[in-house]
Every structure is written in structure tokens, then in C-alpha cells.
Amino acid sequence: MNTVSIPSTDIGLFEAMYTARSLRHFKPDPVPAALIERVLDAAIRASSGGNTQHWTFIVVRDAEKRRQLGALYRKASDYQSGVYAARPKPEHLSDEQYRQFLANSGWLWDHMADAPVILVPCLQMRDPPERSSLPDVVQARYARHLTNVARISGSSIYPAVENVILACRALGLGTVITTNHILYEDEVKAVLGIPENVATFALMPIGWPTRKYGPLTRKPVAEVTFADGWGRPWPSA
């Protein structure tokens, strides 16, 4: 019988979406298993292509494994920082916002392992059906077909990842989606004994945040939306 009480989850959905900012600083206190279970039970409500649900979530609490994952995250982030440095600052971010982004994400490079939980959302990658068994229309554009399959592979796990973010927000936990580790995914898989046909899609540190939630500032809808075709402003006149 689990005696851990689950905090109230009755913040509004829109409040959660508007305030669930990326949180990377955590208290060392453990997160009760019942809360992780609650987060994962929300995650698995997400959709997946063909309703395959071929996901697996690895909850890493073991300190040595977190240390190893943290070291790989650091290695991947060192690599990735060169890519960031080569890119211009996104125009919509002020110098101060960009400085904060770099400071917060840079802080995590050395502190991923400090989170009491690192969640690793995974998907089983299925081999495509034998080419000769497919209809002619698919065989005729087989290379493009495979490119398309590869391009949408993450779309069967990232909706669940967003549910993790929102469920954490509702429960008073903090998290952030990170993907830098994928550069050294083989080493991450070795730490966790993940089979060859399974891919990892994020490392999500989860814990009790020491920084505040939201509000989230984003480019306004009018700037990122067109009506009925590219270049036609929304809202339409």
C-alpha cells in the first residue's frame, strides 16, 4: 500500500501550459515513486503513430548511473556548445534573455546528475516491412518513404514528453527536455543496458525545483501563423 500523498493537481491546463518553463536547478530531495508513477501515467495518455505505444520510460534514480549519464551529457554539451556558438542569437530574444538561456542550459551541463531522477523516454524502432511486400506505389518511392519514416520517428514519443512536462508542473516538480545526449547515444544506451533496436529521445532531469515556474514568453501567434496558405497574415482581415 502506497502511503505517499499526491499533491493537488488541480491547476488549470492553460496555467500549466503557460508556466511550465524549463527548470534545471533542483533540490537534492528524492521524488516519491508514487509521483513518478503519476507523471508516467499522464505520459502514456499521449498519442502514438498507429497507437503502437512502443515506448519505454527508464526512471534513473541510481546515483552512479546518474553520474555516468551526467558525464555523457556534459561531453555532448561541450560538442553542442560549438554549434551554438556558430549560430547567431535568435532575433526574438533580447541580449539578456539569450544570456539567461545560455547560463541556465550551461549550468545543466555540470548538474544533470544532481537531479534525483533522470527520465529517459525510449521507443522501440521497428524494421520497415520487406520492400517486396509493399504496394508498388510505396516501392516506387522507397527511399523517400524511408526518409519520411525516419523524419517522423520522434513524433511517437514527444507528445508523451510534453505530458511529462505538464504533469511535473501540476505536481510541483520541475523538468526540462534535453536531447544533447543523442550525439553519444550508444554510450548512454550502454550505461542503461538498452537493447540495439531501442532508441532514446531525451534525458529529462526531474526534481523539486529551486527556481520559479513561468510565465513563458514566446513569439506572438500573429508572428508565427498564416491563414489559408504561406504568407497570408493571421488574423485575416
Q: Backbone dihedral region of 39: left (phi > 0), alpha (psi from -120 to 50 degrees) or beta?
A: alpha
Pick 21 or 74: Cβ nearer ligand FMN = 21
Pick 32 or 154: Cβ nearer ligand FMN = 154
Pick 124 or 158: Cβ nearer ligand FMN = 158
Min dist CB 189 to ligand FMN, Å, is 17
Coil/strand/helix, residue 34: helix
Measured CA to CA, the distance from residue 122 to residue 230 in angstroms comes to 35
Min dist CB 97 to ligand FMN, Å, is 9
Min dist CB 23 to ligand FMN, Å, is 8
Give backbone dihedrals phi and psi of 216, rounded to 5 degrees, phi first: -90, 130
Min dist CB 127 to ligand FMN, Å, is 25
Chain positions contacting ligand FMN, by CB under 6 A: 21-22, 101, 105, 108, 176-180, 216
Task: Give Dmax (Cα) for the chain.
Answer: 60
Measured CA to CA, the distance from residue 16 to residue 10 in angstroms comes to 10
Q: Which helix (H) or strand (E) holds 207?
A: strand 204-207
Pick 68 or 80: Cβ nearer ligand FMN = 80
C-alpha torsion sign, points 69, 114, 107, 207: positive
